[in-house]
Amino acid sequence: MEENKGKDGSVTLSYPMLSKSNYTAWSIKMKAFMEAHGIWEAIEPVDPKAAVKERADKVALAAIYQAIPEDVLLSVAEKKTVKGAWEAIKTMSLGADRVKRAKVQTLRAEFEMMSMKDAETIDEFSMKLSALVTNIRALGETVEESYIVKKLLRAVPSRFVQITSAIGQFGQIEEMSVEEAVGSLKAHEERLGGQTEKPVGQLMLTEEEWEKREATEGRLLLSREEWLKRSNKSRGTSSYQGQHDKSKVRCFNCQLYGHYAAECRKPRKEKEKKQEANLAQIQDDEPALLLTEFEKVKNDTLLLNEKGLVPKLQKDQVKKVESNLWYLDNGASNHMTGLRSKFNELDERVTGQVKFGDGSLVEIKGKGSVMFKCKNGDERIFHEVYYIPSLCSNIISLGQLSECGNKVIMNGVFLWVYDDKG
């Protein structure tokens, strides 16, 4: 904005120019400038029944003509009053009511999905949030202050969990302003000293990722025998064997003591478990190995082991009770239910068994998706849900929610689950 001083020392304001994308900011500035010149009442009179002064109307209309491009000027030139011209510009910029409602819905959805990134500061995120709220309000939609505060507290990273919990319990959110919430979060951010959450690196790679890496960087996977040979060779085989007592070493091939599998003279077993090693390079260039074993199961047959879960199971010849209650469980590694009616889609070709923490072994009869209806009317689908007819409970796995990109936070007796849309 440019300011020019007149001969008498007064300040002359230069009206901003309207563009295709700045209507909200343009209308705010125009209102402020026209109020400063005392001509805004020509558009919004204090008394709607009072007649607008002709000179004020003409001065306000001239101010608008000065602040709009030529193509817009030609569209509103037929308007005889400044109020008519103002409403015409507003309609062209914001669209008709139907288009306006569509814009509001789009902005609302964007507002709900917003989440603060780890690298962002509270100031940066709050400015983005405020700009979006201003655009929504400019379309005539009401956005309550408490609604913005609640969204702000939900959208910040988990490092703010202590302050958000405190505000939620003692802060009287319904009466709190956005500025107060931002101030509290900024104070907590300063106490943290700018800490950011460091992403956890990937420790294990899939079989396909290892094969791709081998093709470009050479062979990375070692069998147990190759690993033992390399370890013995790196330490010096003769001196190492002389210092180490093998009487307590058990062979993985013949299960006898006194030698390694690499030294075993008995033939290898026909069925072996495939072994996979992740290599980590240390300072002396000696590879450190992390071994994991897994067995591929043919077709779609599964064998799950739920060590941390002891559910209630269905007794024989007892009629099953339909229940809409789902339990959030941090001991379960998978979503599961015993009710066939819960599934939106079910693949009954997926079968197998699951062993629970109490030693019970029950059958898996399928895997599919379950549709949940939220309180606000939205629908959410949970995939990879196992159908276990003997199960009496409906279980949602917090671990599986976390793997699917949802944010799960547990602090004392409190539990927060945020969906992957923020």
Residues 236 and 247 in one domain: yes
CA 220 to CA 287: how far, in whole Å?
A: 10
**Cβ pair 344, 385 in contact under 8 A:** no
Residues 47 and 107 in one domain: no
Q: What is the pLDDT of residues 241-296, one digit of tens each?
A: 444 566 667 776 777 777 766 677 777 654 444 443 343 333 334 333 333 333 33
> Among 44, 62, 94, where does a domain finish?
94
Contacts of 180 (CB under 8 A, 6+ apart): none
Residues 71 and 175 in one domain: no
Q: Hey, what amino acid is at 255?
A: Q
Report the pLDDT value the prediction gives residue 225, as an integer from 0 to 100: 61
Residues 106 and 186 in one domain: yes
CA 356 to CA 395: how far, in whole Å?
A: 13
> Among 263, 294, 325, where does a domain finish?
294
Report the pLDDT value the prediction gives residue 420, as an integer from 0 to 100: 62
Report the pLDDT value the prediction gives residue 284, as an integer from 0 to 100: 39
Report the pLDDT value the prediction gives residue 372, as an integer from 0 to 100: 84
Helix (H, G, I), strand (E, B) or coil at 129: helix
**Has residue 202 been placed in a domain?**
no
**Has residue 414 been placed in a domain?**
yes
**Has residue 239 been placed in a domain?**
yes
Report the pLDDT value the prediction gives residue 1, as an integer from 0 to 100: 43
Residues 288 and 310 in one domain: no
CA 82 to CA 65: how far, in whole Å?
A: 10
Helix (H, G, I), strand (E, B) or coil at 84: helix
Residues 88 and 106 in one domain: no
Residues 171 and 127 in one domain: yes
Distances (CA, A) of 304 to 94, 145, 295, 301: 56, 48, 12, 10
Residues 245 and 273 in one domain: yes
Tens-level pLDDT at each residue, the chain (422 residues) = 444 554 444 556 788 899 877 888 899 999 999 999 889 988 988 887 888 888 989 999 999 999 999 988 898 888 889 999 998 898 888 765 567 778 888 888 899 898 999 889 999 999 999 999 998 888 878 888 889 988 998 899 988 888 888 887 776 788 888 898 898 888 888 888 755 444 444 555 666 666 666 666 555 555 556 656 655 554 444 433 444 566 667 776 777 777 766 677 777 654 444 443 343 333 334 333 333 333 334 445 667 777 667 777 776 656 667 788 888 887 788 889 988 888 988 888 888 888 887 778 888 889 999 988 877 777 888 888 999 888 888 888 888 887 777 888 877 667 788 876 54
The token pair at 272 is 């072996």
Residues 83 and 170 in one domain: no
> Among 54, 76, 94, where does a domain finish?
94
The token pair at 124 is 């940066």
**Has residue 347 been placed in a domain?**
yes
Give backbone dihedrals phi and psi of 356, rounded to 5 degrees, phi first: -90, 175
Residues 112 and 188 in one domain: yes
Residues 144 and 180 in one domain: yes
**Has residue 198 been placed in a domain?**
no
Question: Domain of 118?
Answer: 97-192
Residues 283, 286, 287: CA angle, nearest 5 degrees: 110
What total number of domains does the chain contain? Answer: 4
Q: Which residues of 93-128 are buried (b: 16+ CB within 10 A; e: fewer)?
A: bbeeeeebeebbeebeeebbebbbeeeeebeebbee
Residues 119 and 183 in one domain: yes
CA 177 to CA 302: how far, in whole Å?
A: 53
Report the pLDDT value the prediction gives residue 7, as an integer from 0 to 100: 47
**Has residue 201 been placed in a domain?**
no
Report the pLDDT value the prediction gives residue 235, as an integer from 0 to 100: 46
Q: Hey, what amino acid is at 382?
A: F
**Has residue 242 been placed in a domain?**
yes
3-class DSSP string for the chain: CCEEECCCCCEEECCCCCCCCCHHHHHHHHHHHHHHCCCHHHCCCCCCCCCCCHHHHHHHHHHHHHCCCHHHHHHHCCCCCHHHHHHHHHHHHHCCHHHHHHHHHHHHHHHHHCCCCCCCCHHHHHHHHHHHHHHHHHCCCCCCHHHHHHHHHHHCCHHHHHHHHHHHHHCCHHHCCHHHHHHHHHHHHHHHCCCCCCCCCCCCCCHHHHHHHHHHHCCCCCCHHHHHHHHHHHHCHHHHHHHCCHHHCECCCCCCECCCHHHCCCCCCCCCCEEEEEEEECCCCCEEEEEEEECCCCCCEEEEEECCCCCCECCCCCCCCCCCCEEEECCCCCEEECCHHHEEEEECCCEEEEEECCCCEEEECCEEEEEEECCCCCEEEEEEEEECCCECCEEEEHHHHHHCCCEEEEECCEEEEECCCC
**Has residue 37 been placed in a domain?**
yes
